[in-house]
Amino acid sequence: MTAPADPSGTHSVIGRVINNYEIKSVLAEGGMGKVYLAEHPFMGRRAAIKVLRGIYLEDTSMVTRFVNEARAANAIHHPNIVEIIDVGYLPDGPPYLMMEFLEGETLQQRLTRVMRLPPPEAVRILDQAASALEAAHAAGIIHRDLKPDNLFLIPDPTTPGADRVKVVDFGIAKLEGPGLGDSVRTTGVVLGTPHYMSPEQCRGTSVDHRTDIYALGAILYQVLCGRPPFVGDAQIDVMMMHVVKIPAAPRELYPEIPAQLEAIALRALAKRPEERFASMADLRAALRQLPTTVRGLPLSTGGLTPSPVVASLSGATEPVGSRRWGLWVSLAIAVGIGVGWVSALRVGGVSADGGASPRPATTMGKLPIARSRAGVPSAPVPAAPSAPPAPTGAAAAPARPAAADKTPAAAAGTGEPAHARPSAADGESARPSKQNARRFASSAAARGRGAAARTKGRQAASDSDRNTWMNKW
């Protein structure tokens, strides 16, 4: 028994049972037919059943397009492509397509609600869509009708709070793989949605997989900017813009859009197919080169085989020559710091009154750093030139001895007061008296304090010179 046709040209199928699934209600309606909700009475599993309008039953091309959707989706088997459960004909003639039931919303519905998406969410949606289309292209299938209405968003069961993309509606897909049959002939015929059609598609010429890359670029543009790249009063106006007009840069509309993401969108929207990404794998590789702050959650790497050309898009990969140049510059800086350190240690010391005092020349890089302590004489070294007198004070000696004065014998001829050492002219023994001994001890202590002050001054000068060299380099 044939069910009566409804005014819209589709048969009333509510209440019918198809492959144990009972049709419950209408989910959506499109130009080619209606989509119904069906449920398995025992398992409780739900499915979506698309039924072609009766007015197209005599149109061979429309029937072919309807069946192609099942062939295309079944040939790919990808988690981001809607699963086809069954395909066939109703008893009264119209073909039907049974698919998995998707509970969520289309990307178009979300954009209608929020207008724009943040970059991490946009990147994640685009990457999943590109992954599905990469698998489709590998199977010889070109979608040709990508748009926000055909990207369905459902909750991702593996990532709480995230979306999983499902690419739907392969009705006008171009099938070129083995065993897929013939696709709809479109040479000279314009098929698609004008806002997302490539220039070659708008002209009605032959297309390849890069027409899907252009469509994804248009979707990314809309997700970032809140509108498609071209908007016009009539569809023909929009199609002409795709052919001859360059879209406005997204950052001219919203400066906060990351420059790297803008570059990806504009490259995908190139007028000439050879100037776009060579494949969906290259597009996905460019998405992975985005900074973490832009792409957000880790992206899937399944099936990713990029070509080398995508490295230039984000600047993340430097040429080999640039890396070598940077290595030589770093090496030169390290050598300079080392030379500065050694030079700082060889610079002259500082006198007790804070003035600089030249250090004696060194041989074979040995540094003449004083190692004596107050009252502990060390081996004599060549005498340094006389320095200005030390400041007056209770603990200061009348005249500062030379830097190398470490023993009583070396004090002769240095300007040290006569009472600080024994005098043979007094007629006394060369051995000092108790009074002279006390004076000698006092003088020795003063010399020790002066030596300690000079050692401290030299260290301070070395630290200052070292800091100067390091700041310079």
Three-class secondary structure of residue 250 per DSSP: helix
Give the HSE-up count for residue 105: Cα atoms under 13 Å, Cβ half-sphere.
8
Using DSSP, state whether 228 is helix, strand or coil: coil
Using DSSP's 3-state secondary structure scheme, residue 196 falls into helix
Contact 386, 424 (CB under 8 A): no
Residue 87 and residue 95 in contact, taking contact as beta carbons nearer than 8 Å: yes
Instruction: Give the other-Cβ count within 10 Å of 273's Cβ.
Output: 18
The Cβ of residue 242 has, within 10 Å, a number of other Cβ atoms equal to 25
Which residue is associated with the tokens 């570059």? 263
Sole residue written with tokens 């190139």: 270
User: Within its chain, how far is the Cα of 47 from the centroid?
Assistant: 40
Contact 214, 192 (CB under 8 A): no
Q: How far apart are CA 45 and CA 19, in angstroms?
A: 12
DSSP character for 233? S
Of 127, 145, 163, 405, catalytic: 145
Q: Which ranges constitute the DSSP H helices of 6-98?
A: 60-76
| Both tokens assigned to 449 | 């304090």
Phi first, then psi: what are they for 304, rounded to 5°? -90, 115
> What is the rounded CA–CA span in Å between residue 264 and residue 315?
12
Q: Which of 28, 250, 71 is nearest to 173 (CA)?
A: 71
Instruction: List Cα–Cα distances, 399 to 270, 416, 419, 420, 432, in angstroms.
Output: 87, 6, 13, 11, 22
Cβ neighbours around 204 below 10 Å, total = 14
CB contact at 8 A, 201 and 143: no
Burial 178-196 (b: 16+ CB within 10 A, else e): eebeebbebeeeebbbbbb
Note whether 331 and 156 are within 8 A (CB).
Answer: no
Q: List the alpha helices (DSSP H) in 18-165.
A: 60-76, 107-114, 119-138
The answer to whether 353 is a known catalytic residue is: no
Backbone angles phi, psi at 166, to 5 degrees: -125, 120
Determine the Cα–Cα distance for residues 77 and 86; give it in Å rounded to an integer: 14
Rounded-to-integer distance, Cα 129 and Cα 87, Å = 24
Catalytic annotation, residues = 145
